Structure 1
Amino acid sequence: MQQNAKFIRKLPIPMDIKKEFPVTEEVAKVREARVEEMRAILDGCDSRLMLIIGPCSADREDSVMDYVCRLVPLQEKVKDKILIVPRIYTNKPRTNGSGYKGMLHQPDPSKKPDMLEGIIAIRRLHTRAVQETGFACADEMLYPENYRYLSDILGYVAVGARSVENQQHRLVASGIDVPVGMKNPTGGDLSVMMNSIYAAMGDHTFLYRGWEVETAGNPYAHAIMRGYVNEKGDSRPNYHYEDLVQLHKLYAERGIKNPACIVDCNHANSGKQYLEQIRIAKEVLHSKRHSNDINALVKGLMIESYIEDGNQKISEGTYGKSITDACLGWEKSEKLVLELADLL
């Protein structure tokens, strides 16, 4: 009988990868200090804006590190108003299953998938980012069982629109010790996202990587508003003033005392028109100025940005240009960050 699944090789467990590629005590302290700053913003103790910014997908170590290093002097210029959290998204959800699935799958986008090399590549990249820039970075938890390969180095975790209703994602998020952002689902039902936040805040016992695991709950689980797609397949935004008022009401109905939200300026909010991110980011800050509730609710923004404007096919090979969703180039990104700081 023909087998549909071919088991290629047994991969090392996270503990073994961490031993082989360890994080130094100094790097661990730098990462923890940055995470504490994020927690303070989400708690409302720090009034700065958290800006999660970077490529749609981390496709090459050299260009991603180039990009993250460029953020260092920019962070210094806006440090009193904005806390920058670089996006280093190393695994990508694909709506229909086809296309580039991220560095975890293909550390070299032009070659065939190699999961072992991918695990090593993403750990090396995230470690370099903290070590060389002092940033603690964000990644998406596409596969809950793979989170442990990076659990000691990540600063922020996002649960995507296609994963947010999944039980395993919610329960694993409840045991993560850094902020976790829950995106609204692609269909736009905010109750799904709120259920996910509520679940991640709670304590649970469940099966994970062959272990019976008990979690204490994550008080820093929060919403990410990313727009949605209606029944006709059209992108619809949910970053407007009225949407944020509605989200505030949903938090109040759940009895969550410290509501928090990040607004994703791309994806369905922009209709994947990447230049619209500039306008959307400024509109969200305008909404914050006109309502104390929204000002307290919206803790930050998410922006897709890289070295070059737009996107490309893998075969084109332009350095620092996205091979997934289109991104703002560096010049526009730098200008936007400085403008946002001036508006705060």
Structure 2
Amino acid sequence: MPLAKTENLNIVAVDPMPSPEEIKARVPLTERAAASVVAGRRALHDILDRKDRRLFIVVGPCSIHDPIAGLDYAKRLKALADDVAETMVLVMRVYFEKPRTSTGWKGFINDPHMDDSFHIEEGMEKARRFLLDVNELGLPAATEALDPIAPQYYGDLIAWTAIGARTSESQTHREMSSGLSTPVGFKNATDGDLDVAINAIVSASHPHSFLGINGKGQSAILRTRGNRYGHVVLRGGGGRPNYDTVSISLAEQALAKAKLPLNIVVDCSHANSWKKPELQPLVMKDVVHQIREGNRSVVGLMMESFLEAGNQPIPADLSQLKYGCSVTDACIDWASTEDTIRKADSVLREALQRRSERA
């Protein structure tokens, strides 16, 4: 009697995927892009180490779905970054993977044609090409690390990484973060719990060994040295924001108790703006005011922003998509983004000088 089949019972196909080395050979790192990545990471390291008094701002679309509109946004952001470089390091939010509670579009890598065809091999190459184009502009890029294999394909083009509220508690993502080459921001849990993020920072700062793949796409044991640039991202949760002075003070106390640097990033979106994008500028204004009044722990902010305000459903006919408008979470438009950042720049010029004098 033949053995009963006990594996792959729910697998309908196993399609080949190009290795990281193959994708990188198709879209090779350039000297200019490498310089942009290195400069971006160095600036972020210096901010987190308090060698640079500026803030960093991770700003951009909720997700990338149209590389043309995305690059249009990147060019505008680069021009703005040059104008506010005295007070801020602008890092473009380039998110390709979207966590889903149940169903929905999983992002550009998973489904680049937005039609449930799931050409992941094509999406990965296009995602890498887009990141290369952004870095070629001299603009550093940030992303959320969701799939633990994906960083092998494009991690050399990322300056800052987020671990989301749903995955900060995941051992897999903590281990992965310990080996990432970027600073990593861990978000508090969706219920607002901060301990999850703090425990993640501690875990990721230590060496780990875990299963992954190497450049050839072969299974490998990855051994890490630990990442000392983990920090907390306050994104609200549990039905309330947590960017107010009391919440930030409590976060400072929790970090100090864990013997961690008092480095806090405030996400102006998600629960901190009650998922109303038009409130994001008010959140940033409030946090900047706290810095003006003497806060020294806030080192960065995040905003969801695109060319057009709001969001849109994905139509069956993709030619009906509105240019530069999000297909995931709603964003503020470019005009509001520029106005918000320029106003913050005006306030921060004097405030950051006083902050550095107190150091």
Aligned to 2:52: 46
Deviation per CA, 1:159-196: give whole Å up to 9, x if none. 11111111110011011111111011112111111000
Aligned to 2:204: 200
Aligned to 1:74: 80
Q: How much does 1:214 deviate?
A: 1.6
Q: How much does 1:208 deviate?
A: 2.2
Aligned to 1:227: 236
Q: How much does 1:212 deviate?
A: 1.8
Within a 5 Å distance, the mapping from 1:77-156 to structure 2 comes to: 77-96=83-102, 98-110=103-115, 112-131=117-136, 133-156=137-160
CA distance in 2, matches of 1:320, 1:68: 12
CA distance in 2, matches of 1:4, 1:68: 41
Q: How much does 1:268 deviate?
A: 1.1
CA distance in 2, matches of 1:142, 1:252: 28
CA distance in 2, matches of 1:177, 1:286: 32
Q: How much does 1:111 deviate?
A: 5.8
CA distance in 2, matches of 1:240, 1:201: 28
* 1:286 equivalenced with 2:289 (yes/no): yes
Secondary structure of 2:185 counterpart:
strand
CA distance in 1, matches of 2:292, 2:31: 41
Aligned to 1:157: 161
Aligned mate of 1:190, from 194, 219, 241: 194
CA distance in 2, matches of 1:145, 1:207: 10
Aligned to 1:171: 175
Are the counterparts in 2 of residues 53 and 87 from structure 1 also a CA contact under 8 Å?
Answer: yes
The one-letter code sitting in structure 1 at the alignment partner of 2:30 is T
* 1:37 equivalenced with 2:43 (yes/no): yes
The one-letter code sitting in structure 2 at the alignment partner of 1:228 is G
CA distance in 2, matches of 1:328, 1:26: 30
Aligned to 1:232: none
- Greater C-alpha Rg: 2
Are the counterparts in 1 of residues 32 and 135 from structure 2 also a CA contact under 8 Å?
Answer: no
Secondary structure of 2:233 counterpart:
strand
CA distance in 2, matches of 1:16, 1:110: 26
The percent of aligned pairs where both chains have the same amino acid is 36
The one-letter code sitting in structure 2 at the alignment partner of 1:64 is G
Q: Residues 110, 6 of structure 1: CA spacing in aligned structure 2 closer, same or farther, 3 A cutoff?
A: closer
CA distance in 1, matches of 2:272, 2:257: 25
Q: TM-score, normalised by structure 2?
A: 0.90
CA RMSD of aligned residues (A): 1.4
CA distance in 2, matches of 1:155, 1:92: 19
Aligned to 2:352: none
The one-letter code sitting in structure 2 at the alignment partner of 1:185 is A
Aligned mate of 2:66, from 40, 43, 60: 60
Aligned mate of 2:255, from 251, 254, 279: 251
CA distance in 1, matches of 2:122, 2:49: 38
Q: How much does 1:248 deviate?
A: 0.5
Are the counterparts in 2 of residues 44 and 296 from structure 1 also a CA contact under 8 Å?
Answer: no
Aligned mate of 1:265, from 268, 278, 292: 268
Are the counterparts in 2 of residues 60 and 107 from structure 1 also a CA contact under 8 Å?
Answer: no
Question: How many residues get paired?
Answer: 333
Aligned to 2:313: 313
The one-letter code sitting in structure 2 at the alignment partner of 1:173 is S
The one-letter code sitting in structure 1 at the alignment partner of 2:340 is L
Aligned to 1:343: 347
Aligned to 1:213: 222
Q: How much does 1:5 deviate?
A: 2.1
